[in-house]
Amino acid sequence: KRDISSPQPTSQNVRVNVCVRVRPLNALEKRTKQVDAWSYGNDEIFQTYIPWDKDKESKRKSKKKEAMNFRFDKIFLPEENNEDIHDYVGTKVVDFVMKGYHGCLFAYGQTSAGKTHTIHGAKQDPGLIPRSISLIF
């Protein structure tokens, strides 16, 4: 049951947050000398490696003509762990839900992007679900 004396959410204080977690290169990527195609800072991510710049043939096939930049509410760097992500995102959602409002955390991305690790985690670095459950109970 919601405490009606608490302030009601407004469009000013409730919104969707879009965060990005940058995963480090995995062992195969390092072994095959792949490079990180993106740079990041100040919650903005920049494409720094443009594959079609080196190969004129692929440039003709690609409709992309320049590097891309994106801005997010928060970018989590490769050295940040699940605790850092939960402290920034998870605790806010749990607090909001415990006040009687709806909340949702979800991970979206391509295969091997780190969604399962972020949501479920591992024994030594639990993910958002186990940390949120611990916070509630």
Within the chain, which residues score under 70 in pLDDT? 1-14, 50-65
Q: What is the pLDDT of residue 68?
A: 79
Q: What is the pLDDT of residue 131?
A: 96
- Rounded to 5 degrees, φ, ψ at 92 are -65, -45
Q: What is the pLDDT of residue 88?
A: 93
3 three-class SS:
coil
Integer Cα distance of 36 and 60 in angstroms: 23
Sort strands 74-76 and 19-21 into parallel, antiparallel or unpaired.
parallel
pTM: 0.74
